[in-house]
Amino acid sequence: MENVIIRNVKEDEEDDFSINSAGALTQQFNQLTRAMFIIMIGIAGISLVVGGIGIMNIMLVSVTERTREIGVRKAIGAKSSEILGQFLLESIMICLVGGLIGIFFGFSITKIISLAGKIPFGMPFWSILLGFGFSFFTGVFFGFYPARKASSLSPVEALRYE
């Protein structure tokens, strides 16, 4: 009864304190980091789709601007697979350069934060490979349609294009 008086809580009132164990705090921390991870994956996914659509639009404009060039190449014997490969390679290279720039900035910003906050820094090699892998996949996925469109152009129609 003495504890009730010291805390000024009457017997019929609810307790105004709680006890947190290390396990409960760990569980809350894990839930918070899991939620942040899911949010970051969502943001990254949306960014990849938006970037991929931008790459696709750039490549479609490139195909339109180079229609005459494609017609000349086909007229002198270039195969559709060679045209497809050229435009697909361009798309992949654009994405890989973007991935390289993103990895550079990610590494730099993380290093600066670790130095400022005196936090240990580490970037596993697999994460760099994963970044390049996503860049490559984005280039292939979003570059295939424009490359296919370029490779399917008729040489006669492409040479007439102004």
Tell me how crowded residue 55 is: count the other CB atoms within 10 A of its CB.
Answer: 22
The radius of gyration computed from the CA coordinates of the chain, to the nearest angstrom, equals 28
For residue range 104-149, what is the model confidence (pLDDT) as tens digits?
Answer: 998 999 899 999 988 888 888 998 999 899 999 999 999 999 999 9
H or E stretch covering 47:
helix 22-65
Cα–Cα dist 147/79, whole Å: 13
Report yes or no: 159 and 75 within 8 Å, Cβ to Cβ: yes
Percent of the chain with pLDDT over 90: 60
Longest dimension (CA), the chain: 100
Q: What's 12's DSSP letter?
A: T
Asked whether the beta carbons of 107 and 23 are under 8 A apart, the reply is no
pTM: 0.74
Domain-by-domain residue ranges, the chain? 53-160
Q: Over the stretch 80-96, which tens digit does the pLDDT of each residue have?
A: 999 999 999 999 999 99
Burial of 149 (0-12, 13-18, 19+ CB in 10 A): middle
144 within 8 A of 63, measured Cβ to Cβ: no
What CA–CA distance (Å, rounded) separates 14 from 12?
7
